Amino acid sequence: MVRLDEARLTEKTGRALRRITDRGRQVLAQGPLRLDEAYLRQFPEFEATVLRWRSGRKTSHVAYDQGDSPDVISRTPQEDLRASLDAANAVLSDQLLEKLRAAHWSFFEGVVLDVLAKLGYGGGKREWSERIGQPGDGGVDGIIREDALGLDMIYVQAKRYGEDNIVGRPALQQFAGTLDMKHAKRGVFITTSSFADTAVDFVKAIEKRIALIDGADLVEIMIEHDVGVRPVESFILKDIDENYFEA
């Protein structure tokens, strides 16, 4: 992914996550292509990186601060394939977030429970979770039973927010208060936006265990576990079978 950053096709968004840029979308719209060095050198930022690397100078923090520097410029076909897949998944992530933000709130809450079941909550059994969210729900949109009798419950809050509507500390304080009223110690708070640092710090400081899943994490999980997405093409990468030739 570093090579795509250098060509300004992708950019870091934090916590080892990246998103595709407008330039990256234009490149993908051209159809199948090989994102090798020869292609990427049409972009001046990437060309400058190559020249600096070949002159023995590090690239990080020279023209821009991405927090990364390439180990090598020449990559293997496997690495090129991985870079192309990463770029395609970056586009898919953006599309998924748009779909989730445009969906009805009740549908989104169902998606959240599907995702949590895939992560193993409720023993991975979707039937052990229930959507209860409605206007005036007191901050609880779903519940998950961690055992067949429902003796151990996890409460879920789902916020279908736009990118700029960041979840702050007050929302987490309200959710923690709801857990108190339910005599619960565990909860999951999921949003299609992100969490303010103060919200994250608050969750770390309290005794209750509240898991936070932001929009970037949510769509990454959905892609990994095939929630709301489907495979359209697969590739089998092959290598020499050394055992065959040594037999």
Instruction: Give the model confidence (pLDDT) of 191-211 as tens digits.
Output: 999 999 999 999 999 988 999
Distance CA 244, CA 247 (A): 5
Residue-level pLDDT at 68:
43
Confidence grade of residue 53 (pLDDT, cut at 50, 70, 90): low
Closest to 46 (Cα-Cα) out of 26, 66, 16: 66
Average pLDDT over residues 53-70: 43
| Contact partners, residue 92, CB within 8 Å, separation at least 6 | 219, 223, 229
Distance CA 212, CA 191 (A): 8
Q: Regarding predicted confidence, which is higher, 69 or 183?
A: 183
CATH architecture of the domain with residue range 105-224: 3-Layer(aba) Sandwich (3.40)
Confidence grade of residue 54 (pLDDT, cut at 50, 70, 90): low
Residue-level pLDDT at 71:
44
Sign of CA dihedral 199, 204, 206, 211: positive
Average pLDDT over residues 108-136: 86
Average pLDDT over residues 21-27: 82
- One-letter amino acid for residue 26 of the chain: Q
Residue-level pLDDT at 98:
93
For residues 64, 66, 67, 70, the Cα torsion angle rounded to the nearest 10 degrees is -90
CB-based contact 167:173 (threshold 8 Å): no
φ, ψ at 145 (rounded to 5°): -85, 130
Name the average pLDDT for the chain. Answer: 81
Residue-level pLDDT at 210:
93
Q: Render pLDDT for 142-159 as a digit per residue (tens, 0 to 9).
A: 899 888 777 788 999 999
In the predicted structure, residue 60 carries a pLDDT above the cut 50: no
Confidence grade of residue 87 (pLDDT, cut at 50, 70, 90): confident
Question: In the chain, what are the domain boundaries?
Answer: 2-102, 105-224
